[in-house]
A and B are shown apart, each in its own frame.
Chain A
Amino acid sequence: MKVLVAIKRVIDPYSKVRVKTDGTGVETANVKMTINPFCEIAVEEAIRLKESGLAEEVIVVSMGESSCQEQLRSALALGADRAIHIETDTECQPLSVAKLLKAIVEKEQPRLVLLGKQSIDSDNNQVAQMLAAITGLPQATFASEIHIEGNKIEVEREIDGGLERLRLSLPAVISVDLRLNEPRYASLPNIMKAKSKPMEQLTPEQLGVELSSSQVTLEVMPPKARQAGQIVTSVAELVDKLRNEAKVIE
């Protein structure tokens, strides 16, 4: 079985994000970049499927400027077999990403496509669902456990108020949640080995996909700052403040 994993290059989740003063976006120059944490979990799951003999090949794909090859190399160092970089300078909105991935799905015919449930920059939580829609494949989003049984895949999903289990026929599209696994670190020998693993370069034109942008960001603003609070010294003082100053308890 072939597994396709889509990954995205994002600002490191522990970096402090600064909104540009001209309102055009957030500062990305000289900011640490990394694989989106949810994508990392998807890569880890694919590698575990390979280690357990259920997958023969793990392909990672990413789209964007040439810098996203760094994240593809990281995924190769974690254990993916080969990478596909779809090179474009145009910002890819979720529907465009889904269309590019659809073209790769048609080309590579994976049995399983794994994606993160959301990227921590745009926080859209859309691509997996959109890809499933346009390929006509079943979807399981927010997966916290997966089991492959022949032609089916059983997925435990994190839903509001609990959990649910779905059984999908393969091929299928799965988006992964935080609880699915604990991603590994790449070892130095594997980082060295990753340098010689194949990285195919394609363009949206070669895939026959026209990138459209149906949404325009008019302005990016900082959120309203909270007023400085106060440190109280006792429980009695806290209760008094909540009761008489903030008036949030009776």
Chain B
Amino acid sequence: MNSKTLVIVEHDNQVLSSDTLKAISAASVLNQPVNVLVIGCNCQPVVDSVTKIEAVSAVLVADSEIYEQQLAENSALLVQNVSEGYTHLFAASTTFGKNLMPRVAALLDVGQLSDVIKIESEDIVIRPIYAGNALAKVKSLDSVKVITVRSSAFENAPVNNASNAEIQVVDINIGNDSSQLIERQKTQSVRPDLPAARVVISGGRGVGSKENFALIEQLADKLGGAIGASRAAVDAGFVSNDLQVGQTGKIVAPDLYIAVGISGAIQHLAGMKDSKVIVAINSDSDAPIFEIADYGLVGDLFEILPELTASL
């Protein structure tokens, strides 16, 4: 059987998610034809974008009102329907991919390889376990490999201006009467997306209050970076939960990660220890974060942050 890959595209009906570029890049490691599936409603702008990705040879489009919200119940059935002939199904390990792909895998009666950081061959991958404290090399014996990939471990797939990908309309309409979307609130931010940012400034419990987070914001704006947070800062209500960096939040690997007032619990390190350069600013010289920081500065963040922002 010829090997063929299908990547499930993530988007909001208008804009292609950059995580999909990472998933396509991971899929192209296998050197086999890569097709993509766009599920949505009035999603032509997304189709236009994906046809320009070099590695993509065909774009399958299921454009219908019933897919507007991209809920897992009917989306998974649709993927199951179009997946015949594919040996590999990929998606990014975002909340969209994590929600949908295991449902697809189970419908196909196969396992899933989650949050993969390296594709070794067509059936062997490497993935972190135990909050990144171990790496497992796993071989899949399944006929179809369902894989979600960690965005921070892959580069963006190259994009062309010419589009060579063939468009195939998928005329399969599967309804969904068991779940409905009531509302979706996306936080509007002028700063870069956390997983895609080149610089991330994160605050923890030590920042003390929501108001004090302004110090983190000022530094982030100066460096053109994104803002992150530890679980303690989110639980204390300093920032919204979608900024949490760690095992259960976002995984980031920017060029520069500045941890401010963060002790460095295992669960937080899981989300940022692959950053190229880590800076820790903390008043406690025994904080575990200093064990992994390239540069550590022990002191009062309320003095250090304004000085740092001013000197950049």
C-alpha spacing A134/B109, complex, angstroms: 9
Within 8 A of A (CB), among B119-140: 124, 128-140
User: In the bound complex, do residue A93 and residue B111 qualify as a contact, i.e. CB atoms below 8 Å apart?
Assistant: yes
C-alpha spacing A13/B128, complex, angstroms: 15
Q: What is the number of contacts between chain A and chain B, taking CB atoms within 8 Å?
A: 255
> Which of A159, A172, A231 is the one whose CB lies under 8 Å from B298?
A231
**Shortest Cβ gap from B177 to chain A (Å):** 8
Residue among B134, B181, B187, B235 with the most chain A CB within 10 A? B134
- Range for the number of chain A residues in contact with chain B: 35 or more
- Given A163-B185, A166-B179, A226-B292, the answer on whether A95 and B106 have CB atoms closer than 8 Å is yes
Within 8 A of B (CB), among A185-234: 214-223, 226-227, 229-234
Which one, B40-48, B203-211, B304-312, is touching chain A? Answer: B304-312
User: In the bound complex, do residue A17 and residue B134 qualify as a contact, i.e. CB atoms below 8 Å apart?
Assistant: yes
Task: Please indicate the chain A residues that have their CB under 8 angstroms from the CB of B180 in the complex.
Answer: 166-167
**Shortest Cβ gap from A236 to chain B (Å):** 7
- Range for the number of chain B residues in contact with chain A: 35 or more
User: In the bound complex, do residue A165 and residue B181 qualify as a contact, i.e. CB atoms below 8 Å apart?
Assistant: yes
> Chain A binding site: helix, strand, loop or mixed by DSSP?
mixed
B39 interfacial contact with A, CB 8 Å: no
User: In the bound complex, do residue B312 and residue A239 qualify as a contact, i.e. CB atoms below 8 Å apart?
Assistant: yes
User: In the bound complex, do residue B128 and residue A123 qualify as a contact, i.e. CB atoms below 8 Å apart?
Assistant: yes
- Given A95-B105, A118-B248, the answer on whether A229 and B292 have CB atoms closer than 8 Å is yes
**Shortest Cβ gap from A27 to chain B (Å):** 10
Residue among B109, B136, B290, B297 with the most chain A CB within 10 A? B136
C-alpha spacing A167/B180, complex, angstroms: 5
**Shortest Cβ gap from B112 to chain A (Å):** 5
Which one, A44-52, A68-76, A137-145, is touching chain B? Answer: A137-145
Which one, A58-66, A82-90, A242-250, is touching chain B? Answer: A242-250
C-alpha spacing A172/B279, complex, angstroms: 44
Within 8 A of A (CB), among B260-312: 266-267, 273, 276-279, 285, 290, 292-298, 304, 307-308, 311-312
A103 interfacial contact with B, CB 8 Å: no
Which one, B25-33, B51-59, B91-99, B160-168, is touching chain A? Answer: B91-99
C-alpha spacing A114/B297, complex, angstroms: 44
C-alpha spacing A95/B112, complex, angstroms: 8
User: In the bound complex, do residue B242 and residue A158 qualify as a contact, i.e. CB atoms below 8 Å apart?
Assistant: yes
Within 8 A of A (CB), among B232-265: 234-235, 240-242, 247-248, 250, 255-256
User: In the bound complex, do residue B186 and residue A161 qualify as a contact, i.e. CB atoms below 8 Å apart?
Assistant: yes
Task: Please indicate the chain B residues that have their CB under 8 angstroms from the CB of A121 in the complex.
Answer: 129-130
**Shortest Cβ gap from B239 to chain A (Å):** 13
**Which 4 residue pairs of A and B lie closest in terms of their CB atoms, listed nearest first?**
A129-B102, A130-B106, A133-B106, A138-B178
List residues of chain A with CB under 8 Å of any chain B CB: 11, 13-14, 16-17, 19, 26, 38, 93-95, 98, 117-118, 120-134, 137-142, 144, 154, 157-169, 172, 177-179, 214-223, 226-227, 229-236, 238-239, 241-242, 246, 248-249
20 residue pairs bridging A and B, Cβ less than 8 Å apart: A123-B130, A129-B106, A138-B73, A138-B179, A157-B95, A159-B242, A161-B186, A163-B242, A164-B182, A164-B184, A217-B139, A218-B138, A220-B129, A220-B134, A226-B294, A230-B295, A231-B290, A231-B296, A231-B297, A235-B297
